[in-house]
Amino acid sequence: MQVSENTNDDFLFIDDSDEDEILDSAIGETWKVLIVDDDPEIHSVTQLALSDLVVLGRHLEYLHAYSGTDACKLIEENEDIVLVLLDVVMESDDAGLAVVKHIREQLKRDDIRIVLRTGQPGYAPEESVIKDYDINDYKTKTELTRRKLVTTVYAAIRSYQQIDSVTKNREGLERIIGAAANLLELHNVHDYACGVLAEFKKLADSNSSVFCARGQGIVEGADDLSLYILGQYGLSDAKVNQKLAALDNPDSMRQITSCFQQKQHFFTATSTSLYFGSGGFRAVIHLELAQALSDIEKQLIEVFLTNIATGYENVHLFQKLRNAAYKDWLTELPNRLDFVNLLDDFCQSDDDELVTALIDINHFSDINDGLGQDIGNQLLMAVSTRIRAISEKNQLARIGADVFGIIGPKSIVNPETLMALFNRPFAAGEQNLPINACFGFCSKISAGARGVKVLNQINIALNLAKKSEQDPFVYYQQEMEDKTLWRLGMIRQLRTDFADNRLALWYQPQLSLTTGKIIGAEALLRWKTAEGKFISPAVFIPLAEYSGLIIDIGNWVVNQACLLLKKLTDSQFGDVSISVNVSIPQFKRDNFVDNIIKAIQLNNVDPSKLELEITENVLMDEPQVIIDALVQLKAQGISIALDDFGTGFSSLSYLQKLPLDRLKVDRSFVNDIAEPGGSIIADTIINLGKQMNLKVIAEGIELVEQEAQLKALGCDEVQGFYYAKPMPADEFFAYLEKTNR
């Protein structure tokens, strides 16, 4: 169980000050403190909380400003202001930050201490503001108990006094400020610890040094309050992340422990232990010295400690933010963002034997839904543990709910090795779950120049592997991406041209074999690009279905067909019907049936003259969904035709459930119909239609012999190039007037 060293804060007005200074009314000198806040109550509460405070032998004298503008004016008029307690949000969201900028840039006052306070945590200053303008501290008003306020003010004024003293007596101040600025660039606890020790080497003549603090939350596996070595100088890197006992120096260990427990510095002729803390984060720096520290060196170090204490708190917060941004919360593996960084290194590597891959667990959502999320999480942990166990050379990340990324040598990161991991069930709670996965691979030789590019490449390979009916893995190749880019480009162009009305409906006449008259037409989509090029429906219809654009296009087609039906009725051709093809994505829309009915009613057309064509493959996808929708449409009088009958593998039992009006004989059964033995399937379909009281229409007729055979078989209706090719609406009208006059 983890142990926390933090305790609850007391309330603002409880006298919890640990200060041992006693109020002396005879004290004459004061520290001028400027309180800047647009809330008068904050001024009163702050002054009351600090009323008895004596800092370094002086009372506090208060100046008050209620806006950023007034604050700038008061600071210009009072050169002896040492501390500004500054509200961030006043007349504007950044009024406080504008005051900071005025103090530092316009007035060149680097000595004034600034403590930012806000009642709105969302207005926390940027890191660059804290760094560039030397803000002494930043607190929300709700966290400022009297103890914290006193501590903050005391620390700020002490910092001012020390800076002022060192500025006048030592040129080392610039070195200290420079060191603090450099340390602000370090956002990792271990880097910060080593950076601090390197700067201490410049301030004191030390033979060796260590940076010690509690390892909980920093050192992996540390779950107690023991002191750990987080950084070293002049010793061995092997001691880093080890407990204090790794020093092998009992005297130093006792001194460091006492310093940490008693919260005070320890000085000897040959060593010193320096304590500092901020925001609940505490540490000790231990120096082995060549000679005892001078008073000036102690002063410089004290100032430096004031700065690094805040930096130490900040670096902890940065590390927490980085973990949240780059580490997966469940497995503690690198997450997607960090995997991209790892892929960047992969791209820059000179090792052509490296391979990266994505591992996607199949049907993971079923496990989550059926067994619960806890079991799902345990399964993910078990999978990550087994993958990590195959080699320490691999870099593993969790980049999605059930997707892992891996980088390693091709001797390990290959289909055989990774697939073998899934040969045995995975233990998750009391369950032993047999699962499998799909894999997308990309070799170093095929990889792009950046991590984001490579992630896209292995995603392409993974998606192809998931669609594959053969092997569950695919290696990325450039032509895969070219095809994907082509598809995306075509979809983008299709969307644009559809919006620009470049899609049109052409109509192929359907004739009665008995009378030779036109009894209807099939509406067929045509796409003519801005360059005048026609794109085949066999190309763009699947793209429209893939992108979801088929929904909008399908609605448009139905409306266009209804407009033509209205025109036919008004032109004395009310007996001519229009057939429209419908795809499975349209049926899956909840409002599909309502949209069809709405289009018919809006255009005031006879529902029986609108025919919806479905293919056998559509029926196979979700039979009951299709049947339910068709029953509703049939109830409105709309005609239903089954296209491509006999080319799929659907059960004949579904055929009896469909509210059909027509069966359509596919062109593949018409091509050889005039050849000996070539009419068997067409004859079967025609006879089946007659037994079910359905009209039968054959498509793809191109020869007179085909027409003759269909007549002999008793087919009702036909369409094909032998009669007419698909044509625009105006040409269809002309053909209709010529044929049906």
Look at residue 16 and tell me whether its pLDDT is greater than 50: no
Tell me which of 271-280, 521-530, 546-555, 653-662 is least confident. Answer: 653-662
Please tell me the predicted confidence (pLDDT) of residue 147.
83
pLDDT of 29-85, one tens digit each?
A: 899 999 999 999 999 989 988 888 888 888 999 999 999 999 999 999 998 899 999
Look at residue 691 and tell me whether its pLDDT is greater than 50: yes
Nearest to 262 by CA among 281, 271, 275, 250: 275
Q: Which residues, in sequence order, are bridge partners of residue 522?
A: 508, 579
Q: Residues near 291 by Cβ (< 8 Å), separated by ≥ 6?
A: 205, 269
Whole-angstrom distance, CA of residue 710 vs CA of residue 696: 10
Q: Of 10 and 110, which is predicted with more confidence?
A: 110
Whole-angstrom distance, CA of residue 223 vs CA of residue 403: 30
Q: Where in the chain is the domain with CATH 3.40.50.2300?
A: 30-169
Please check whether residue 464 is in contact with residue 441, taking contact to mean a CB–CB distance below 8 angstroms. no
Whole-angstrom distance, CA of residue 362 vs CA of residue 244: 48
Q: In sequence order, what DSSP letters do the residues of 606-634 get, joined into one string?
A: -GGGEEEEEEHHHHHHSHHHHHHHHHHHH
pLDDT of 566-625, one tens digit each?
A: 999 998 898 999 999 998 889 888 899 999 999 999 999 999 999 999 987 777 777 888
Tell me which of 179-183, 523-527, 647-651, 687-691 is least confident. Answer: 647-651
Nearest to 586 by CA among 543, 629, 624, 620: 629
Please tell me the predicted confidence (pLDDT) of residue 52.
83
Look at residue 172 and tell me whether its pLDDT is greater than 60: no
pLDDT band at 182 (very low <50, low <70, confident <90, very high): confident
pLDDT of 81-93, one tens digit each?
A: 999 999 988 888 8
Look at residue 14 and tell me whether its pLDDT is greater than 70: no
Distances (CA, A) of 43 to 16, 33, 51, 149, 490: 20, 11, 12, 13, 66
Whole-angstrom distance, CA of residue 57 vs CA of residue 34: 19
Q: Where in the chain is the domain with CATH 3.20.20.450?
A: 491-739
State the pairing for strand pair 271-278/281-289: antiparallel
Burial of 51 (0-12, 13-18, 19+ CB in 10 A): exposed
Residue 239 is classified by DSSP as G
pLDDT band at 5 (very low <50, low <70, confident <90, very high): very low
Joined together, the tokens standing for residue 277 give 């803390």
Q: Where in the chain is the domain with CATH 3.30.70.270?
A: 336-476
Please tell me the predicted confidence (pLDDT) of residue 255.
96
Whole-angstrom distance, CA of residue 54 vs CA of residue 49: 12
Query: What value does the mean pLDDT take over residues 708-715?
Result: 95
How large is the C-alpha radius of gyration of the chain?
40
Query: What value does the mean pLDDT take over residues 116-134?
Result: 66
Percentage above 90 pLDDT, the chain: 59
Please tell me the predicted confidence (pLDDT) of residue 177.
63
Nearest to 660 by CA among 611, 600, 591: 611
What predicted TM-score, i.e. pTM, was given to this entire model?
0.54
What's the first-to-final CA gap in the chain, in angstroms?
Answer: 93
Q: Residues near 33 by Cβ (< 8 Å), separated by ≥ 6?
A: 50, 60, 61, 62, 63, 81, 82, 83, 84, 85, 153, 157
Average pLDDT score, the chain: 87
Whole-angstrom distance, CA of residue 413 vs CA of residue 359: 11
Whole-angstrom distance, CA of residue 33 vs CA of residue 81: 6
Task: Tell me the three state secondary structure of residue 485.
Answer: helix
The residue written with tokens 């799909």 in the block is 438
pLDDT band at 339 (very low <50, low <70, confident <90, very high): very high
Would you say domain 30-169 falls under CATH 3.40.50.1000?
no
Structural element, H or E, at residue 114: strand 113-118
At the fourth CATH level, the homologous superfamily of domain 491-739 is: EAL domain (3.20.20.450)
Look at residue 6 and tell me whether its pLDDT is greater than 60: no
Q: Where in the chain is the domain with CATH 3.30.450.40?
A: 173-324
**Top-tier CATH class for 336-476:** alpha beta
pLDDT band at 489 (very low <50, low <70, confident <90, very high): very high
Look at residue 23 and tell me whether its pLDDT is greater than 70: no
pLDDT of 157-171, one tens digit each?
A: 888 877 776 665 555
Look at residue 2 and tell me whether its pLDDT is greater than 50: no
Joined together, the tokens standing for residue 259 give 């310093």
pLDDT band at 188 (very low <50, low <70, confident <90, very high): confident
Please tell me the predicted confidence (pLDDT) of residue 598.
94
pLDDT of 272-282, one tens digit each?
A: 999 999 888 99
Query: What value does the mean pLDDT take over residues 445-451?
Result: 92
pLDDT of 401-439, one tens digit each?
A: 999 999 999 999 999 999 999 999 999 988 899 999 999
Look at residue 363 and tell me whether its pLDDT is greater than 60: yes
Whole-angstrom distance, CA of residue 454 vs CA of residue 357: 10
Query: What value does the mean pLDDT take over residues 475-499?
Result: 92
Please tell me the predicted confidence (pLDDT) of residue 171.
54
Look at residue 651 and tell me whether its pLDDT is greater than 70: no
Look at residue 355 and tell me whether its pLDDT is greater than 90: yes
pLDDT band at 491 (very low <50, low <70, confident <90, very high): very high
The residue written with tokens 């499975």 in the block is 584
The residue written with tokens 């080319």 in the block is 647
Q: Of 722 and 619, which is predicted with more confidence?
A: 722
Please tell me the predicted confidence (pLDDT) of residue 121.
59
Tell me which of 96-105, 179-188, 667-676, 683-692 is least confident. Answer: 179-188
Look at residue 173 and tell me whether its pLDDT is greater than 70: no
Please tell me the predicted confidence (pLDDT) of residue 304.
85
The CATH number assigned to the domain with range 173-324 reads 3.30.450.40
Please tell me the predicted confidence (pLDDT) of residue 258.
95
